[in-house]
Structure 1
Amino acid sequence: MKNKLNIYCKYFLVSGITATIISCSNTKFLKEGQMLYTGAEVEIESDSLSKKEKSELESAIKENLTPKPNSSFLGLRPKLYAYNATKEPKKEKGLRYWLKYKFGEEPVLLGDVDREFNKDIIVNYSENKGYFNAKAKYDTVSKNKKAKVIYTLNPGGRYLISNVNFPADSSEINKEIQVLKERTRLKAGNPFDLDVIKAERQRIDDGLKDRGFYYFNPDNIIVQADSTVSKKKNDVELIVKLKDNTPQLAKEQFTIDKVIVFPNYNLRDVKRGKYSVPMNPDSLKGYEYNDIYVVDPQKKFKPRVFDRALYFEKGDLYNRKDHNLSLNRLISLGVFKFVKNDFVVSDSLNHKFDAYYILTPRELQSLRLEALGRTNSANYAGSELNLNWTQRNFFHGAEQFKASVYGAFDVQIGGPADAENIFRAGANAQLSIPRIVAPFRFNSSSAFVPRTNIKLGYEFQNRTTLYTLNTFNASFGYQWKENVRKEHELNVIDVSLIRPADVTPKFDSLAFNNPYLQRITDRQLIFGPTYSYTYSTTMLPRKNTFYYKGMLDLAGNITGLVTGANVKEGKEKNIFGIPFSQYAKIENDVRFYHKFTEKTSLATRLIAGVAVPYGNSKYIPFARQFFVGGSNSIRAFRARTLGPGSYDPRTDTSTRAIFDQAGDVKLEMNAEYRANLFKFLNVAAFVDAGNIWLINDEFDDNGKNLRPGGKFSKEFLSEIAVGAGVGLRLDFSILILRLDLAMPLRVPYYEKGDRWAFDRINFGDSGWRRDNLILNIAIGYPF
């Protein structure tokens, strides 16, 4: 241990010396009189501002200053060094060109800094925040061919809003503005802030757009500041009113006259002069359906599709909320490639619109063949072939029908010699209907169309010399979104039937007196409702975003209650001669993302789940249990080889290479730091931790515990596995290729008190590297 400590100290010493050399060597490339610009500092001279107010003002000002200094990492400037140290390339390609002009950064010099311009920016920004008497100056500090600029700001007193006045008159638009002023963002006592004023103008515009004023825009509002009204120093009155030159059209409220839909619009018809906007609907070959005029000569779409999607009706007052809602629902149908909306004045005296919806369909049918190769951390390599057919207007009501057939194989390429190859083949079909099919009425004002999903599937799985499983599944349920952040999925019924075939004597001998293995080839019938809820803000442009998905699976609960099933009392009940599964399962997936900069972020995840058998089941079906390990889980352990608890899978040499380790309780935590090196090349450093456990111990006929240490207990924290590693992500836009290299730091099946593996790390030992360095190759991010 002492020797290793000495080696690490040498590594740190060498790294420190190297960093110092790189840091200093950038300045040697400068010409005589040049200085490297290292950035700006902003100092606030004010006794009236708090530390927090000073800090916020300083950081905001620094964001607006130009230019930015060369990027740095831990005080070093590797990109600048790459530019300086690389000789001028002879041609615009190759490694030298990439290092100098793609990865490298040209030096930012003090001569590039317009200090007077930055001083004006500081004063203007301060005035926009209410510091009307702001004054600024600057000073330059240089040393060893490096220079920084120190800007000093004396903001003076900040002006506060003394009163907000919305002058009234008799016009219709002013009456609406008087209603809107009740929720103004301009409050007496708050500081003057130009950004808040702009937001208030936008708020008024949004409110008027929802009240029929289609042609209005925020520039029609003027906010005047008057500091002469109040007797108090640094007080200002705001007057919010329409500009005198506001166009008359912007002051008028419009209603909807006709709603006209072109569901089969294409550019070729436009070029032929078939369609133009505005147009006379009476001259087109269309028909009327519930006040909607549909121009669809070929009748590709049933008109009720548009009746459900469009929120405007004849005589409605125009509002932008329904405008956007209608467009979003048309897009979410998934059948139209382009969706365009035009409002054309049909009667200027009565202020009426004709609303045109011009829709260009996607290709209604597509056939796609996919071939892929794959490997996983369990030493399997294989290939898969998928043939997918999609029909996006199956019953002429924007129903999407998808059917696929596939075949795949996975072959063991390393690890234990007794591992089995796996062959799979199957077919799936899904019909997605853009409405809720139910005996009750379901109204949704969401921008997303609710869907009814019907699924059928079959899979054939063969483990060469062991057994074959035939799996049939079917489900019927609903999917709907409240908004862009909240999504629900309820399967009213979700059925799986698993039937074994061709169970070989080899497997029988392995499973003899082993109930855990026997359950794999038991006939299984699993049915019941499932529900999932997803909440996500990851699509929003925020510094901190959040993702949550919760899942509830209730199998056989009502049937078990009705039949009085109780396997512990010998009252096991069958359906069609097959014992049905009865359990309750819940799983929670929580993720938090923090963005440090545009190119660096921290991603974290917590997964917690439990599945409890009861009634007609003593154990959770193998297909519904939890697993850990692999490229999207705890990456320092091979897929599905970890757990349960402190159980050591290496002790059972007859089955460890064949069967996955499964559990009823799951706890997993992940943290990953992500950074961009260059365009498509990203790096990551990560730590994963977690494990799975059993609810009940499993014994053979002789009373022997089949997986000792696997049961969940108060000792569960001491059985947490920990792994860490680094990775590369190659972002090619259409896909992200991920390579993660991980090693275990804590192994739960080692002796208690000796589970941390730091003292076992030995990169120089090929045997240690083979057993402990796990390379995960995957597509996409792990979370």
Structure 2
Amino acid sequence: MYFWINFCDHLRHAFAKIALIIILGMIYSGCDAVKRVPKGKSLLIDNNITVNGEKYKSGVVNDLLYQKPNSSILGYRFRLNLYNLAKKNPDSSYKAKFLNHPKKYARQVKLLSAKQVARKGQSFWYFGVHNFLKKIGEAPVIIDETKIKKSIARVKAYYFNNGYYDAEGTYTIDTLAGKKGKVNYAFTKGKVSKLDSIRTKIQTPALDSLYQTTKQLSQLRKGDEFKTENFDAERNRLNTYFRNNGAFYFQQGNITFNLDTIKSTSKTNVEMVISDQSVRAGDSSYTKPFRLYKISKVNIITDNANDVDKTRIADSVTYNNFNLYSYKKLKYRPKAITDAVFIAPGTLYSDFRTNLTVRYLGNLKIFNYPLVQYKVDENDDNALVATIILTPRPKYSFGASLDFTHSNIQDFGIAATTSLTIRNVFNRAETLEIAARGNIGSSKDLANPDNTFFNISEYGLDAKLNFPRVLLPFNTEHIIPKKMIPSTSLNFGFAKQRNIGLDKENFTGSMTYNWTPKRNHSARFDLFNIQYVNNLNIGNYFEVYRSSFTALNDLAKTYNANPAYFRDNTVDPDKRELSIPEGTTGFTDDVIKNGFGPQQGSDDFRTIKSIEERRKRLTENNLILATSYSFSKTTKSSLTDNDFYIFRTKLESAGNVLSLFATATKTIDNGISKKRVFGIEYSQYFKTELEYIRHWDFNREKVLAIRGFFGIAIPYGNSTSVPFSRSYFAGGSNDIRAWQPYSLGPGRSGAINDFNEANLKLTTSAEMRFKIFNSFKGAVFVDAGNIWNVFDDGPYEAEGGNFEGIRSLKDVAVGSGFGLRYDLSFFVVRVDMGFKTYNPADTSGKKWFREYNFGNSVLNIGINYPF
């Protein structure tokens, strides 16, 4: 354990030194940024752009320029300076070293050999390091008039494509001192052309009829400004619409536009031409009108595996006009397969239905990626036969994994998991997953009397049964249609852990419905989510929560508690400690129940009572039966999309069903205390959360990311406080990074407890991400937020921990810092250094930047981006 603490401390200081070296290197190399700029040339340091006489800040025009200034990090041209540190011709420099000093060369040859001396010139120190610096660096951008003229031509073409037919561009070059320069671009767009007459020439009557029914949705309208993107949008709209209404052979290339600006450049006449289908027959081709195809048959091959005889069908069945075939005995109930197929006999061909079918079948997790094929029906030239080919995954599959982990509690951990997946359990595409897991870890924050490195352990068993449909006794098609790809999962789990010193057993169970209301939308409804936490070692409480123990122990000595409560009466009275748990319990009972020591209502009495109430709260067994609804929406279109937002919300209610059950069964202890079910007090609360994440892409791999989070859990009925497992904490690698987990708040109280939590949380973060070189990325960030107690009768031992409205916002903590990341494509390794920028708990009167130094910094190691 001692080794791990020292390792983390050394790592933090090493990270600080690396950061300092990088900063000093940037400053040093920045002194000679034009080192590689030839005589008579200028380094491009800025592009000044004006459009119609007004300064153009940023946008498309900047991106169209062929030459842009060297990239920078907070104003420093870091990659340029790295490039300048490299020798221009390291091989020639090495040889010149000996040509000018022949005696030195003779000594080297005598000591090594001529061959070894020559090979030494190709070593990393003499040659490789300079190539490496050039590779990760960035060559200086030299102002080039040829490229400037090409940039102007490109910008003019962009404006022309957006209706500015008379756009012009000029440039001037400002030569600055020190071989530097700026390029000034001046563009005049002229008058924009607007769409005048819009005519159509659709050669296929069936397509013309389809167009007429939706022409009011056209992206091209008379009087609109000419924009190429509107023509592309109309082409995409019609292509999608036609292909979703039977036009199987239709392609985007069949839509062209003829533009007429002969009479006036301020007006553009548009003719949209939709040509007939082009058919190739041998060496010749001809055209014919497009046909709108209907689906005549849907054939489904359910077992297209490599180990089957595909020359004969062994089993087949027709169900709801779908034909199911199998090369072996059919292993699936027909309805399980046909419910996932949206291509139905009698309907028009549709890309949408085809894609939805592929998605749904893939979502079953019992087949590999499905293949859908179409061919014209031999008996009907206006119909298609759809063949869906399914390749089953193995009935049983085993998995095992070994992971090294890091979490808010665990500094280092090793987790192992073994799993068994059984597919098509009841022949209706159900999937059963059973997993056994184990974990050992180390935490410097936990009670560790034996000083062992691995002081955390956990093992558990989980089972999940997934149904590819809504599992309810009534039809839900009109509420959640199958096109939303609904599923139901039953989850059960057991875990036994030794983590925060109390040791506990955790039993969980849930019934969850998932569906996608729209593209990039997801919804989840937990009909029930039950959790029972059984604490096994409650007598160890004060070994874990040492801050509470220290406060209680000091008060016991102050009020001369019973000597029998102390571990050793022979030591110095000032150094005595209460025995755990007999001494601590005896002292609190004497104070609260027997009137010993401080008077009721005094500060010391309230402190002792608060400590004892918190002990009871955190050591009592919890029974939570909750119902919740979660919804999320994102505009992220792909893994490379860096301009998007994510919105998430969750509503959760717990205890209502148990309250009705307890009342109905009259399980009320003496009719006045809290209700119990099976002898356990159950929790009752309402919880809601909102989260918003937004990313802006500034090009050149610069991304600004922000996140805001609000969460509140309100106890009521049978509870006066929220269970520890459902409360909020602040700090950590994905939160306020200048504080360790559980070490911030509530409010300005100063985190007087060991594991500080509350039932209200408000945080926001902003992070600017940028590329340093290759896969190395950097970031600067600011995090702000805190936790508070509100509508909670639970104990708290210091002022400032309760939320008191707007005035409590002055207790929002602020942390800032920087980070380094290494992108491995499939995940990102992240190291962040956080500094306490505004500490609301500081009592010195100077809350800003008082602890802004490496000695008080917090090093966070994480996987992937925090948001």
**TM-score interval (norm. to shorter):** 0.7 to 0.9
Matches within 5 A, 1:2-17: none
- Work out the CA distance in 2 between the residues paired with 1:91 and 1:178: 72
Cα contact 1:255–1:316 (8 A) shared by 2? yes
1:481 matched residue in structure 2: 516
CA distance in 1, matches of 2:230, 2:268: 15
Match for residue 401 of structure 1? 432
Is residue 777 of structure 2 the alignment partner of residue 682 of structure 1?
A: yes
Alignment partner, residue 802 of structure 2? 711
By how many angstroms is 1:268 displaced?
7.4
Partner in structure 1 of residue 713 of structure 2? 611
CA apart distance, 1:617? 1.7
Q: Which one of 536, 543, 551 corresponds to residue 634 of structure 2?
A: 536
Counterpart in the other structure of 1:311: 342
Q: Tell me whether 1:691 sits opposite 2:786 in the alignment.
A: yes
Match of 1:439 in 2: 473
Show the counterpart of 2:304: 265
Aligned counterpart, 2:274: 242
- One-letter code aligned to 1:747: N
Contact (CA 8 Å) 1:459, 1:471: kept in 2 or not? yes
Shift of 1:726: 1.7
Percent of paired sites with the same residue = 26
Structure-2 residue corresponding to 1:458: 494
What do the CA deviations read for 1:166-219 (whole angstroms, capped 9, x no partner)? 247782222222223221111111122233222212222111112211111122
2:539 aligns with: 504
Q: 1:746 to 1:168 in 2, by over 3 A?
A: closer
Structure 1 residues 85 and 393: CA distance shift in structure 2, 3 A: same
Paired residue secondary structure (1:309):
coil
Q: Distance in 2 between matches of 1:610 and 1:191?
A: 49
- Structure-1 separation of matches of 2:511 and 2:250: 47
Structure-2 separation of matches of 1:138 and 1:430:
66
Q: Give the unaligned 5+ runs of structure 2.
A: 1-20, 91-120, 280-286, 541-579, 589-611
Work out whether residues 276 and 290 of structure 2, in 8 Å CA contact, stay in contact via their aligned partners in 1.
Answer: no
Question: 8 Å contact 1:41–1:62 — kept in the other structure?
Answer: no
Distance (Å, rounded) in 2 between the aligned partners of 1:469 and 1:548: 35
3-state SS of 1:371 partner: strand
Q: Is the 8 A contact 1:376 1:777 kept in 2?
A: no
Q: Take 1:319 and 1:699, find their aligned partners in 2: how far apart are those partners?
A: 59
In structure 1, the residue matched to 2:506 is 471
Quick one: which of 702, 722, 725 aligns to 1:600? 702
- The answer on whether the counterparts of 1:585 and 1:611 sit within 8 Å (CA) in structure 2 is yes
Matches for 1:744-763 after TM superposition, within 5 Å? 744-751=836-843, 754=845, 756-761=847-852, 763=854
Q: Which moved more, 1:294-303 or 1:433-442?
A: 294-303
Q: Which residues of 2 match residues 664-675 of structure 1 at below 5 A?
A: 664-675=759-770
> Is the Cα contact below 8 Å between 1:697 and 1:710 reproduced in 2?
no
Q: 2:748 maps to which residue?
A: 646
- Confirm whether residue 560 of structure 1 aligns to residue 676 of structure 2: no
| Aligned partner of residue 497 in structure 2, secondary structure | strand
Corresponding residue for residue 5 of structure 1: none
Which residue of the other structure, out of 350, 356, 367, is the alignment partner of 2:381? 350
Per-residue deviation at 1:132? 2.8
Q: Quick check: 2:204–2:290 contact (8 Å CA) kept in 1?
A: no
Is 1:290–2:290 an aligned residue pair? no
Residue identity matched to 2:724:
F
Q: Are 1:727 and 2:759 counterparts?
A: no
Corresponding position: 1:388 with 2:490: no
Whether the 8 Å contact between 1:379 and 1:415 is mirrored in structure 2 is no
Residue type at the aligned position of 1:758 = F
Letter in 1 for 2:253: D
SS of equivalent residue, structure 1 residue 615: coil
Alignment check: 8 A CA contact 2:196 2:222 kept: yes
- Secondary structure in structure 2 of the residue aligned to 1:203: helix
Indicate if the aligned counterparts of 1:477 and 1:492 stay in contact, CA closer than 8 A.
Answer: yes
Pairing partner for 1:28 from 5, 17, 35: 35
Q: For the residues of structure 1 that align with 2:861 and 2:789, how far apart are their CA atoms?
A: 29
**Other structure's SS at 1:504 match:** helix
Partner of 1:188: 222
1:29-65 deviation digits (Å, cap 9, x = unpaired) = 234555545565554458xxxx6xx959x94344233
Structure 1 or 2, whichever has the larger Rg, is 2
How far did residue 485 of structure 1 move?
2.4
Matched residue type, 1:754: G
Residue 775 (structure 1) aligned with residue 859 (structure 2): yes
Q: 2:646 aligns with which of 527, 537, 547?
A: 547
| 1:212-248 CA-partner distances (Å, limit 9, x unpaired) | 11111122122222235x7x77222212222378554
C-alpha separation in 2, matches of 1:731 and 1:463? 32
Structure 2 residue aligned with 1:124: 157
- Distance change >3 Å, CA 475–CA 197, structure 1 → 2: same
Separation of aligned partners in 1, 2:492 and 2:861: 31
What's 1:11 paired with?
A: none
Map 1:629-640; keep pairs closer than 5 Å: 629-640=731-742
Deviations 1:413-433 (A, max 9, x none): 478876994332221111111
Residues 699 and 482 of structure 1: CA distance in aligned 2, closer, same or farther (over 3 Å): closer
Q: Deviation digits for residues 484-510 of structure 1, max 9, x if unmatched?
A: 322111111111122233543734655
Contact 2:728 2:787 in 1 (8 A): yes
Aligned equivalents of 1:386, 1:16: Cα separation in 2 = 43
SS of residue paired to 2:803: coil
Label 1:119 to 1:460 Cα distance change in 2 as closer, same or farther (>3 A).
closer
CA distance in 1, matches of 2:209, 2:123: 65
Change (3 A) 1:148 1:747: closer
Is 1:523 equivalent to 2:613 in the alignment? Answer: no
Amino acid at match of 1:341: V
Question: Structure 1 residues 249 and 285 mapped into 2: Cα distance closer, same or farther (>3 Å)?
Answer: farther
Bigger drift between 712-721 and 576-585 goes to 712-721
- Determine the structure 2 residue equivalent to 1:6: none
Residue 528 of structure 1, CA deviation: 3.0
Distance 1:339 1:755, change over 3 A: farther
The answer as to whether partners of 2:669 and 2:676 remain within 8 angstroms in 1 is no
- What one-letter code is carried by the residue in structure 2 that aligns with 1:238? V
1:153 Cα shift?
A: 4.2
**Cα deviation digits, residues 643-669 of structure 1 (max 9, x gap):** 32333444xxxxx55xx2221222222
Cα deviation digits, residues 70-97 of structure 1 (max 9, x gap): 3334554332232233125666978625
DSSP 3-state at the match of 1:106? coil
- For the residues of structure 1 that align with 2:314 and 2:123, how far apart are their CA atoms? 58
User: Structure 1 residue 461: deviation in Å?
Assistant: 2.4
SS of corresponding position for 1:80: helix
1:272-315 per-residue CA deviation (whole Å, 9 max, x = no partner) reads: 9x47xxxxxx9675433222222323434433232111111112
| Separation of aligned partners in 2, 1:666 and 1:75 | 36
Q: Partners of 2:123 and 2:261 in 1: how far apart? A: 60
Checking the alignment, whether the CA contact within 8 Å between 1:260 and 1:294 is kept in structure 2 is yes
Candidates 235, 251, 254, aligned match of 2:290 = 251
After TM superposition, the structure 1 stretch with the greater mean CA deviation from structure 2, 320-329 or 168-177, is 168-177
Worse-superposed segment, 392-401 or 581-590? 392-401
> How has the CA–CA distance of structure 1 residues 419 and 253 changed in structure 2, closer, same or farther, with 3 Å as cutoff?
farther
Give the 3 Å change call, closer, same or farther, for CA 498–511 of structure 1 in structure 2.
farther
Alpha-carbon distance, 1:743 to partner: 2.6
Q: Please, what is the CA RMSD of the aligned residues?
A: 3.6
Q: Is the 8 A contact 1:220 1:246 kept in 2?
A: no
Contact 2:201 2:274 in 1 (8 A): no
Residues 786 and 812 in structure 2, CA contact (< 8 A), matched pair in contact too: yes
Distance 2:674 2:506 in 1: 23
Aligned residue among 135, 138, 142 for 1:105: 138
- Tell me the secondary structure at the aligned position of residue 29 of structure 1: coil
